[in-house]
Amino acid sequence: MSKKSIFRLLLTILAGIGALILPALSAAQIQDGVKMTAQAGFDGYCKANQWIPVRVSLENSGSAIQGRIEARVSSSSGTTFTYAAPVDLPESSHKELFLYLNTDTYLSELPIYLTDGKQTIQSTTARLNCLAQTDVLFGVVASTPSAFNLLNELDPDNGSANVANIEIKALPDRPQGLEALDVLFFSNVDTAVLTSDQQEALANWLANGGRLVASGGAGWQKTTAGLGQFLPLSPLDFQDLSSMEALISFTNSKQPIAEGIQSTPISAGELKPSALVLVEQDGVPLVIHGQYGLGDVFYLAFDPAMEPFRTWEGMTDFYRVLLAYHFDLPGWTFGFQNWQMAQEAASSLPNVALPSAILVCGFLGIYVAVVGPANYLALRYLKRRELAWITIPVLVIVFSILSLMIGGITRGRTPQISQANIVQVWPDAKLARVDSLVSIYSPRRTTYQVDIPKLNLGRPIITYDMGSSQDMTFIEDSDRLTLPGLRVDIGGVETFAISGAADSFPIESQLIVIVNQSGATLQGQVINQSDQTLEDAVLLYPGGVLSLGDFAPSISQDISIPLSQAQITGRLQTTSYAPYTGAYAPTFTYPYYGYGYSLDSTLQDILGTTNYYDSKEIYQRYTLLNSVLSSNYNPMGRGGGVYLCGWTEYSALDIQLADRPARHNSTTLYLISITPMIETDGESLKLTPGMFIWEPMSDSASSRGTPYTGTIYANETQHLRFRLGIPMIYRSIEELILHLESTSTSLSAANLNISLWDFEKSQWVQMDNIGWGDYQVLQPERFVGPAGTIQLSIMNASTSTYDFTKSDFTLIVDH
């Protein structure tokens, strides 16, 4: 070998070594120039099956980098899902961004990667403590967060209370990221630094049933700076008070507030029209309740982190009573809960059907006739029957090609995007919430890139018996959500879920609840101001449903309905801040009824039928609605609100395939929350049963325990809790009337031990001389707790079975 050849060989070897080493050296240099930290959840807390916000901080002291942040999580089915967000890091730069992910498994740590598309540049790990759905998570944004540690004492009956200390800049910029929080507290912090995205996320979280508590006191100006649009009071100055007796009375506490009230700053201002004053001292509102969409907002004119409130032994009881006042949330507020039903709904494609039986049978008949008799007769006619060993394989090949061609024709050539949407519309909110099940049907084996508008997050659909068929990547950019490399087989379907936002549905509501000495009536008008027709529309109200038919644009519907029957609560109220005190703390976890809840009629009220298998359309509607009204934790109903519901074929999300046309079809259910104004007439008000919501409590008969059409067997006990579905303030209680009706007319109610919970003595008190009909309770103020709560116990001490048709209450108050 010549010297030149040897030299060239050495150069080639050195070049190869350089090609291997230089990128590694370059990556090492980049890695040395990048520092990355990540915080997941809220102070490390998250909740199973809910969105987890991940806040990533990047500092680049080296050369510019264009890459993306990735979090990779494994599902219970073994597949891996990647949640990513693009990032552009110029030289000498610092950036912070949020990444959102969802998983069906409990995570203790979450690896986060910075990649350039080919290799990992930097990585870190975020710690997590995933709570159960039955646990309570309080978020605290405060200058003195330790003052709120006592919230840890508000353990729910079947879980634990947890307090997360949150920096204001760590609040998510998407409403989905706030879903794990049960209550969010603000105290003496500058909310003016909230970004527009954070404020919009707070607004949508609140409208979807969030709960916010904001404090006044010395720091009211900075605390309310970025929250003013939500608060029921606009603070203007300070007010001095010499007593806090009204606050002590509200709390039902025997603990006095320490001296120093005179020097405690109390913020005062102008009440908004819908504000409800819960506590007032010497004409100064101390605790005010407001509503934003389905959410509750509480404004405290004092700062609980300051003395004398910080060391007041009654503060725990104060929070316990305060949080008893809230709007009853419908079951659908948290989107999809039953993923088995969600998968059924996503897989029910109305416009994709199998070839007809006539076509299949006809093709098979022709195939058998040609390969068999026709082939034989033709060869016999030609006197060349020995050619059968050639003609039969040829005919098989020809018919195989024909079957593929016919299959291709029947499948079509254009992919199809199908959506099954739940759209929630709230008062006050600019955008509606969309929970969408998306199906991509492909006539051939290929890979797609799916593009979805901004403000949306994606996750796979995973069920207990079937996981996702492939690993998926969800790229969360500022202007869109992208699923790259989605593989779909011939005639196959791939599904995933979207949580996001869309334009609201313009409905004008002029509904009011008139409460007077005769009772409560829902009346007024609702007007469809959109350009869409709501098909099979219904109005859900406490205790009943009103069918509206097809609700066309510009049409108004007149409403006049007496509120005469209590409605079961929408979501379980099993937290310890339920309004009762004392040693007896009854609790009950509902059994799981996967296909609907026997004590709640919301499913059939919206569908208008119980024959869910009559058609493909009805079945898809049934599975879609059931996916948000039942879960592995508890069945859920609509609660005590008023909702306009209807169906359209409108595609709530503009989903497209990159560089490829697609056919679209959609099934969309609108759930439009309507908040009627409360109009009282006179000082004496009759709060009829329709003003209350109820829930079963712990006992052996609770699986069928209901105030209406209930059954109680021998030696069984039934406990029911009632409370006002809409918070109302009254001065005093005049009468409490228990209504008892039964089909068991031959049996006497005297054989039942009927008791009410005494909130003053924290014990059950048996009612004397009771019978069927209306029973007036003596000393009624003892048996009505905070938020109009009444607890009823019925024990069947006889050997007979009782069938109830009614066991509810009317409360007459002085307004």
Q: For the residues 266-273, what does the mean pLDDT come to?
A: 90
Q: Confidence band (pLDDT; 50, 70, 90) for 359?
A: low
- What pLDDT, on the 0 to 100 scale, is given for residue 388? 74
Q: SS3 letters for 82-116?
A: EEEEEEEECCCEEEEEEEEECCCCCCCEEEEEEEC
**Whether residue 299 sits in one domain with residue 170:** yes
**Whether residue 145 sits in one domain with residue 103:** no
Per residue in 697-746, pLDDT (tens digit) is 765 454 557 888 878 888 888 888 899 987 787 889 999 999 999 877 66
Whether the per-residue pLDDT at 75 is higher than 50: the answer is yes
Whether the per-residue pLDDT at 301 is higher than 50: the answer is yes
How far does CA 372 lie from the centroid of its chain?
61
Whether the per-residue pLDDT at 15 is higher than 80: the answer is no
Identify the domain containing residue 242 by its residue range: 132-323
**Whether residue 155 sits in one domain with residue 84:** no
C-alpha to C-alpha distance for 65 and 68, rounded to whole angstroms: 9
- What pLDDT, on the 0 to 100 scale, is given for residue 591? 33
The residue among 442 and 748 whose pLDDT is bigger is 442
**Whether residue 696 sits in one domain with residue 619:** no
The residue among 747 and 22 whose pLDDT is bigger is 747
- Domain-located, residue 448: no
**Whether residue 305 sits in one domain with residue 191:** yes
The residue among 65 and 405 whose pLDDT is bigger is 65
Whether the per-residue pLDDT at 7 is higher than 60: the answer is no
Which domain-ending residue is among 114, 130, 146? 130
The 8-class DSSP code of residue 309 comes to T
Per residue in 459-501, pLDDT (tens digit) is 998 776 555 667 899 999 988 999 999 999 888 889 999 999 8
The 8-class DSSP code of residue 132 comes to P
- Domain-located, residue 494: no
Looking at residue 38, which CATH number applies to its domain? Answer: 2.60.40.10
Q: For the residues 797-803, what does the mean pLDDT come to?
A: 82
Q: How many domains does the chain have?
A: 5
- What pLDDT, on the 0 to 100 scale, is given for residue 479? 84
**Whether residue 379 sits in one domain with residue 273:** no
**Whether residue 193 sits in one domain with residue 77:** no
- Domain-located, residue 464: no
Looking at residue 178, which CATH number applies to its domain? Answer: 3.40.50.880
Q: Which of 640, 632, 606 is nearest to 788 (CA)?
A: 640
**Whether residue 722 sits in one domain with residue 738:** yes
C-alpha to C-alpha distance for 503 and 501, rounded to whole angstroms: 7
Structure tokens given for 136 = 């309570």
Helices (H), 34-74: none
Contacts 24+ apart (CB under 8 A), 548-555: 548/644, 548/646, 551/644, 551/646, 552/528, 553/528, 553/529, 554/527, 554/528, 554/529, 555/527, 555/528
- What pLDDT, on the 0 to 100 scale, is given for residue 474? 95
Q: Confidence band (pLDDT; 50, 70, 90) for 594?
A: very low
254 Cβ partners below 8 Å, 6+ apart? Answer: 314
569 Cβ partners below 8 Å, 6+ apart? Answer: 328, 637, 639, 640, 693, 694, 695
C-alpha to C-alpha distance for 638 and 624, rounded to whole angstroms: 15
Whether the per-residue pLDDT at 647 is higher than 90: the answer is yes
738 Cβ partners below 8 Å, 6+ apart? Answer: 754, 756, 767, 770, 774, 775, 777, 792, 807, 808, 809
- What pLDDT, on the 0 to 100 scale, is given for residue 726? 76
- What pLDDT, on the 0 to 100 scale, is given for residue 589? 35
- What pLDDT, on the 0 to 100 scale, is given for residue 11? 55
- What pLDDT, on the 0 to 100 scale, is given for residue 206? 93
- Domain-located, residue 14: no
Q: SS3 letters for 161-215?
A: EEEEECCHHHCCCCHHHHCCCCEEEEECCCHHHCCHHHHHHHHHHHHCCCEEEEE
**Whether residue 580 sits in one domain with residue 516:** yes
Tell me how far CA of residue 650 lies from CA of 34, 421, 656, in angstroms.
46, 9, 15
C-alpha to C-alpha distance for 322 and 247, rounded to whole angstroms: 11
- Domain-located, residue 118: yes
Looking at residue 737, which CATH number applies to its domain? Answer: 2.60.120.260
Per residue in 17-66, pLDDT (tens digit) is 554 444 443 444 445 678 999 999 999 999 878 899 999 999 998 888 88
Mean residue pLDDT of the chain comes to: 84
Whether the per-residue pLDDT at 452 is higher than 70: the answer is yes
Per residue in 756-766, pLDDT (tens digit) is 999 888 899 99
**Whether residue 269 sits in one domain with residue 171:** yes
- What pLDDT, on the 0 to 100 scale, is given for residue 634? 58
Q: For the residues 130-142, what does the mean pLDDT come to?
A: 91
**Whether residue 749 sits in one domain with residue 721:** yes
Choice among 309-318, 579-588, 590-599 with the minimum mean pLDDT = 579-588
- Domain-located, residue 483: no
- Domain-located, residue 666: no
Q: For the residues 266-290, what does the mean pLDDT come to?
A: 90
770 phi, psi to nearest 5 deg: -95, 150
The residue among 165 and 576 whose pLDDT is bigger is 165
**Whether residue 295 sits in one domain with residue 151:** yes
C-alpha to C-alpha distance for 199 and 187, rounded to whole angstroms: 17
Which domain-ending residue is among 130, 149, 170? 130
- What pLDDT, on the 0 to 100 scale, is given for residue 709? 80
- Domain-located, residue 4: no
- What pLDDT, on the 0 to 100 scale, is given for residue 576? 38
Which domain-ending residue is among 581, 609, 642? 642
C-alpha to C-alpha distance for 405 and 444, rounded to whole angstroms: 12
C-alpha to C-alpha distance for 627 and 634, rounded to whole angstroms: 12
Whole-prediction pTM: 0.85
Per residue in 191-231, pLDDT (tens digit) is 999 999 999 999 999 999 899 999 998 889 999 999 999 99
The residue among 565 and 361 whose pLDDT is bigger is 565
Q: For the residues 533-545, what does the mean pLDDT come to?
A: 95
